[in-house]
Amino acid sequence: MLLMRPPPPTFLFNNILSSLVKNKRYPTVISLFKQFEPNGITPDLCTLSILINCFCHQAHITLAFSVFANILKRGFHPDAITLNTLIKGLCFRGEIKKTLYFHDQVVAQGFQLDQVSYGTLINGLCKAGETKAVARLLRKLEGHSVKPDVVMYNTIINSLCKNKLLGDACDVYSEMIVKGISPDVVTYTTLIHGFCIMGHLKEAFSLLNEMKLKNINPNLCTFNILIDALGKEGKMKEAFSLLNEMKLKNINPDVYTFSVLIDALGKEGKVKEAFSLLNEMKLKNINPDVCTFNILIDALGKKGRVKEAKIVLAVMMKACVEPDVVTYNSLIDGYFLVNEVKHAKYVFYSMAQRGVTPNVQCYTIMINGLCKKKMVDEAMSLFEEMKHKNMIPDIVTYNSLIDGLCKNHHLERAIALLKEMKEHGIQPDVYSYTILLDGLCKGGRLEIAKEFFQHLLVKGCHLNVWPYNVMINGLCKAGLFGEAMDLKSKMEGKGCMPNAITFRTIICALSEKDENDKAEKILREMIARGLLKE
């Protein structure tokens, strides 16, 4: 076509370019466009708009704006579609200030933006967390030819809910009602999700009842959100009641519905009921996915029911659902739980043969399991192996190893590992420090533990009750009750309140030394604080 003389009309080329864009062949469109003018084909507004779209999709926003300048130079009047493409391109790159500036320039020059333009702009602002800019934009639209609609408000409410700003989301919801914009199923579902994330189920169900009163029917997504939230709270009766309501409304549950229910049942140890749901899925021709099977295998593994977990794995493979790294992680964890180290190691070393590469979590499970079985050298070998494979151990990996080293009396190696951890940019947490302090105290290194603990306090580390309890226990075991009581006072001075374990530790140590009067005094204090009933 490019070589035909005279050249075909531009609209025919535009049709071809549009077809290529639909197939996401943006570089091809750009390459073809470069051949237009040398072959006597004059691009029109549609051609240039297509080109802008391609440049935006390729993240070449500067080139997109050079084409826009060409449009203006040729005397074309850009339409809303062209402007929307540029707004979307800027928003995609997170260039919010430039987007707002472009919006103001476009409006000042008298170009018309539409609902899609403002919807795109609001979406971009929300994703960038620019809620104040959104509020200003909505005010600008008052008295404007483009009116805020339910889609715009839904975008804002969704953004606020994701940022856990429920109060603000409810204010926006009230604002849209006042302005006569009727909320739809998306509005309610978004707010319900926001309340569920925050654990406010009462308010979520209040919204569900409100939407029903307004004859707005909840959809599959609405029900799934609520069923998931109820399952996480262990309210299985209510979750199944909602499932039945779905069925009565002819809303068919999907794989997600069943998966969240199976997950909740598994966590409650109701494996039989979980299997029953799996069978129901098959009867309804709903194919369980890898996530569904993983949930069940994990639940069985955590209960030490690895034989049944293997049966589920066999069912999974028979259904042509390939196990992934999560599947194998759950199995390995389960085997360690029932002391079947040999089987755990077999699963780990056979993963690669099955085309599944162990990840950081997989190595961490192995390292933790081996450390608990006092196989520290083997755990250290795996630790070195994962580093050799350019895997970055996380804080859980380090904590597992430090714990294993301390419990197997390798204190120097544990201290060295904590240092290495910091050198690799991973900051130890309270658990890391507690493990090491406990190891030092129990390993007869109380003075080093005291120095290390003091160093943490000087550094301003935010310590919770557990490291204090470890140190108090170490001091009590050494008969240093005065120091133990001083530390108890010091922790309170730092706003960390002693718990029942703190008091029990001191009372038991005093009783063992026949310091019964002091023990009784501490006991009375414990009762006065409501940490023990008389």
Helix, strand, coil shares, percent, the chain, to 5: 70, 0, 30
534 residues of the chain, pLDDT tens digit each: 555 556 667 788 788 888 998 998 999 989 988 887 777 778 888 989 999 989 988 888 899 899 899 889 888 888 888 888 898 888 888 787 888 888 888 888 888 888 888 888 888 888 877 877 887 787 777 767 778 889 989 988 998 898 888 998 999 999 899 989 999 999 999 999 999 999 999 999 999 999 999 999 999 999 999 999 999 999 999 999 999 999 999 999 999 999 999 999 988 888 889 889 988 998 999 999 999 999 999 989 988 889 989 999 998 999 899 999 999 999 999 999 999 999 999 999 999 888 999 999 999 999 999 999 999 999 999 999 999 999 999 999 999 999 999 999 999 999 999 999 999 999 999 999 999 999 999 999 999 999 999 988 888 888 899 999 999 999 999 989 899 999 999 999 888 999 999 999 999 998 988 888 888 998 988 988 888 764
CA distance 260 to 243: 12
Tokens of 197: 């994330």
Alpha-carbon distances, residue 485 vs 140, 446, 480, 492 (angstroms): 64, 16, 9, 11
If you write DSSP's letter for every residue of 269-320 in order, what string do you get? Answer: T-HHHHHHHHHHHHHTT----HHHHHHHHHHHHHTT-HHHHHHHHHHHHHTT
Q: What one-letter code names the amino acid at 422?
A: K
Contact 121, 99 (CB under 8 A): yes
CA distance 163 to 141: 25
CA distance 141 to 125: 15
Domain boundaries, the chain: 149-252
For the chain, the maximum distance between any two Cα atoms, rounded to a whole number of angstroms, is 111
| H-assigned helices in 110-254 | 115-127, 131-140, 150-162, 166-178, 185-197, 201-213, 220-232, 236-248
Whole-prediction pTM value?
0.73
- How many Cβ atoms are within 10 Å of 484's Cβ, its own excluded? 22
- Please name the residues in contact with 199: beta carbons below 8 A apart, sequence gap of 6 or more: 233
Contact 430, 446 (CB under 8 A): no
Domain spanning 149-252, CATH class: mainly alpha
CA distance 364 to 361: 5
Contact 160, 146 (CB under 8 A): no
Q: What one-letter code names the amino acid at 20?
A: L
- Please name the residues in contact with 261: beta carbons below 8 A apart, sequence gap of 6 or more: 227, 231, 239, 240, 243, 274, 277
Tokens of 349: 């070393």
Alpha-carbon distances, residue 194 vs 165, 189, 212 (angstroms): 9, 9, 18
- Please name the residues in contact with 147: beta carbons below 8 A apart, sequence gap of 6 or more: 141
